Chain A
Amino acid sequence: MTTEALLVTALLLPLAGGLCIILTGRQPNLREACTLVTSGLLCLAVITMLFRVLDGARPEYILVEMLPGLAIHFEVEPLGMLFATIAAVLWPINSVYSIGYMRGNKEKNQTRFYFFFAVAIFGAMGVAFAGNLVTLFLCYEVLTLSTFPLVAHKGNDAARDGGRVYLGILLATSIGLLLPAIVWTWNVAGTVTFTAGGILADRLAGPALTVLALMYLLGIGKAAVMPVHRWLPAAMVAPTPVSALLHAVAVVKAGVFSVVKVTVYILGIDHVAGAPGIHWLLWLAGFTVIVASLVALRQDNLKKRLAYSTVSQLSYVVLGTMLLAPISIVGAALHILAHAFGKITLFFAAGSIYTSSKKTEVSQLDGIARRMPWTMTAFAIGALSMIGVPPAAGFVSKWYLLTGAIEAEQLVAVGVIVVSTLLNAAYFVPIIYVAFFRRESSESMLTYGEAPWPVVAAVCATAAITVSLFLFPGLALELVHRIPT
């Protein structure tokens, strides 16, 4: 297959899979086979493409050109390849987990669930491979709309309210800020194509550039920088595999990925570094990191705590980007990867706990590691990655972020990273402690063990990848060093 054909295949596979899922909706086993086969094939296609991209291939594909210069255009570059690989590798694992979870909890409307899941993956692939801002915007909205039925899956009032906040904030920011920013860019640059080094040099400077950068940062609401982060905790009403999809695979990663991509390929890091007051964006990210961690500290609900932890971790990526140094961009890209695998492990573990014991609060977890050793070991690895301690992937990315902050001589950023590491430890270590070392409270007469095997297998797989990314970061480093900064 040519690399162009691979690109088209990677975009079409999830849609084709979605169609199969609808057609086979009556036979659950066949339907799940569809999901698994499609996700496996997609994973294969994307990994094949990954090696070609490492060899220097840059396939592109133009679907239609609506107005002169305004096209639906896909082009692969290293950063997008990284995001696509994360999504494509995690989809099969998440599918195995979903099957265990959805059946274990006897959820309704499973066909709809798997269908929209496939469409969301299509949206993520589109965002990853978008060759210009308009395509990115379109796929971004596909992702927003296709994940709504997943978030509101339960269909009760709480789910509808959560879904409304989710959709409301994401649509309002993207249409209200991102789209005007795109139009503005088009107006001053005459193009919206992602170009190495940015397209705004000599065209826009001064305070206007800072305003544009801020419009992008807040317009990409999926990056959850405060004050547009509220949708993320609201989306916690979703079933756990969806939360995992949101936090690790597709949605939030699409957000921070877009921030990095726009900064590198539209604003241009050297150019935007000269904009007055651009460090305010850095401080906004730093503020989000710290405040979200403080909020996480006070959450007793496990998923809520993880949600605020995500808000904080995402802003690491934004922070790395806004340091505007090549090395910190590398750190930001690596953190997308590290956080994806670490956070999905944590969510899988939370879902695993819920499936077997129906426990949702941190305070109920005393001694749970004795009943669920695999799950809780994986949880511990994920938590270590969040804190940034070896032997987990989070260490590598934090290393690069810190180096970047020191190189850029941004002491505020250094301080933020150090303080937030302490805060991360403060809200994760107690969970590990009570799970492993406290005795189970005697009132609990429930007997339960590990969750269904697909769930446990998925948790262990992502935890293993988190560790191996620490041990063998070579491939990832090679890819992110190819980002033209």
Chain B
Amino acid sequence: MTIGHLPALQVVIPLLAAPVCFLLGRWPRLAWLLASAVAWTTLVIAIGLWLQVREGGTISYAFGGWAPPWGIEYAVDRLNVLVLLIVSGIAAVIFSGSWESVRQEIPESRQALLFTNLLLCLAGLLGITITGDAFNLFVLLEISSLSTYALISLGRDRRALTASFQYLIMGTIGATFILIGVGILYMLTGTLNMADLAHRLGGLQGSRAMHTAYGFLVIGIGLKLAMFPLHLWLPNAYAYAPSVVSAFIAATATKVAVYVMVRYLYTVFGPEFAFSAMYVQWLFIPVGIIAVLFTSIVALFQHDIKRMLAYSSVAQIGYMLVGIGLVNVTGLTGALLHVFNHALMKGALFLALAAICFRIGNPRIENIRGIARQMPWTMAAFVGGGLSLIGVPLTAGFISKWYLILAAVERGWWPVVAVVVIASLIAVIYVWRVVEAAYLHPRPEDAETVAEAPPALLAVTWALVLANVWFGVNPGLVTSLASGAAEALFGGYLP
């Protein structure tokens, strides 16, 4: 009987655990333990769901017994189970290793608050992914966004407040756009269930109202996923949030937004409408390419390593947009793989950075000179994550870039191949700057001697680094999910 309720439990457990976590305010360590346990539980549930749908089946769960399309439906297929796995997996790993870092960066009175918000954010992200209802998606999006604003504002730098405020304004505009889009769709069709929407929109192809709804949704979701040039909120948000929060949202939040984009384009509007009527690929390809090149170059000039990685994230999202814009199964597979693999690599990199912050505070390039001798394991983990970010074979990053390049070659779009390659080269340079500072420069005379990061933090960092290697060597599990999902999404549509 529990098995049948797994889709609901996936969201309800973290949602209900959040207030409990808040009640544990006086015992932050307990709050942390609870949050970690809940995150692991969600991972177990996600694996349970995966086992049920990996052969291509779909789970439909009617909330409260109200049959869809009237009630809220939770629908699980190969596309969102991939995202559920990565989000819950990253949450489990990061929450478990977060204690030392949170204890150092956050005043004791607010530590439980941080875990409460992390759980809310997790519940929101998982909910967005699993729900099959357009309005429910908006509600959960707001839950995750509001908790993210709170999380960012907990950063110890005062600039965290302005970063949070900036994100609040931009995020709210995005959410409003999404709400307007969903509202118009509701007016047009009288339904909010995604499958039902897709069915009814099929008969409304020429409708101008539908075009308007489409426009609002693409731009609204584009804001949430930091599509260039709507990415300006992201670097500050990542840079000034508490280290653990940066790691968590960098690895998950934008990825979930990419999923929402894919869901709307393919499931709700359908590839025919999105690509043959609205030509969204002619938005995504240029925007993606500019994002990849421009923000990679901006990343080169950052002194704060967190900001550097944040800009690199915008570039990586560019890859995903390019993958979608290539409009073929291989490209979409590549984009979905990159959603998964980018979560792994950015998680690893931001956790390594959290370990560095734990010892030296401010992770600027000039502050980490010679640190590799004193924190060899942390820096080795950073190099591992960096290799994956560059896309070196035997790491996860290689697999997704391989698919993206293949997809571009399939279309005969050589300039896109060149862009992927050039951006990888730029990634080599910005990762190298860190490596050179940490390994090749002597530690300045006046710098304090630091010790290796605490074992728990190191363990989770390395868990993600090894995951990068594991999924680079044995990508079969993820590629079969992603290519299966991509084929199903395209249906019979061929451009």
Residues of A within 8 A of B (CB): 64, 66-67, 70, 72, 134, 137-138, 141, 152, 155, 160, 167, 171-172, 175-176, 179-180, 183-184, 186-187
Contact = CB atoms under 8 A, between A and B. Distances in A.
Contact of B409 (A64, A160, A179, A184): A184
Nearest to A160: B440
Contacts of A186: 406
B475 A183 contact: no
22 contacts: A64-B474, A66-B473, A66-B474, A66-B475, A67-B402, A138-B392, A141-B392, A175-B421, A175-B424, A175-B425, A176-B422, A176-B425, A180-B405, A180-B417, A180-B418, A180-B421, A183-B405, A183-B406, A183-B409, A186-B406, A187-B406, A187-B410
A171 B428 contact: yes
Closest 8 CB pairs of A and B: A187-B409, A138-B393, A183-B405, A64-B473, A175-B425, A171-B428, A176-B421, A180-B421
B440 A155 contact: yes
A186 B408 CA distance: 13
Contacts of B472: 66
A234 B473 CA distance: 35
Interface string B396-434: 000100100110011000000110011011001000100
A70 B424 CA distance: 21
A317 to B, nearest CB: 26
Contacts of B475: 66-67
Contacts of A184: 409
A120 to B, nearest CB: 17
B375 interface: no
A72 B479 CA distance: 18
A54 B406 CA distance: 39
Interface residues of B, number: 26
Contacts of B106: none
Contacts of A176: 421-422, 425
Contacts of B20: none
A187 to B, nearest CB: 5
B218 interface: no
A171 B475 CA distance: 25
Contacts of A155: 440, 442
Nearest to A188: B409
B394 interface: yes
Contact of B440 (A137, A152, A171, A187): A152
A171 B422 CA distance: 11
Contacts of A70: 402
B394 A138 contact: yes
A181 to B, nearest CB: 11
Contacts of A180: 405, 417-418, 421
Contacts of A183: 402, 405-406, 409, 417
A450 B428 CA distance: 44
Nearest to A155: B440
Contacts of B428: 171, 175
Contacts of A152: 440
Contacts of A141: 392-393
Nearest to B422: A176
Contacts of A167: 432
Nearest to B412: A187
A155 B472 CA distance: 33
Contacts of B436: 160
Contact of B393 (A137, A160, A172): A137
Contacts of A137: 393
A138 B469 CA distance: 14
B413 to A, nearest CB: 12
A175 B429 CA distance: 12
A204 to B, nearest CB: 13
Contacts of A172: 425
A455 B367 CA distance: 42
A67 B476 CA distance: 7
Contacts of A134: 393
Nearest to B472: A66
Interface in B461-488: 472-476, 479
A66 B478 CA distance: 12
A250 to B, nearest CB: 20
A138 B476 CA distance: 20
Nearest to A141: B392
Contact of A66 (B399, B410, B432): B399
Contacts of B417: 180, 183
Nearest to B409: A187
A380 B410 CA distance: 56
B109 to A, nearest CB: 46
Contacts of A66: 393-394, 399, 472-475
A294 B64 CA distance: 85
A337 B418 CA distance: 36
A175 B406 CA distance: 15
A160 B394 CA distance: 28
A96 B480 CA distance: 51
Contacts of B442: 155
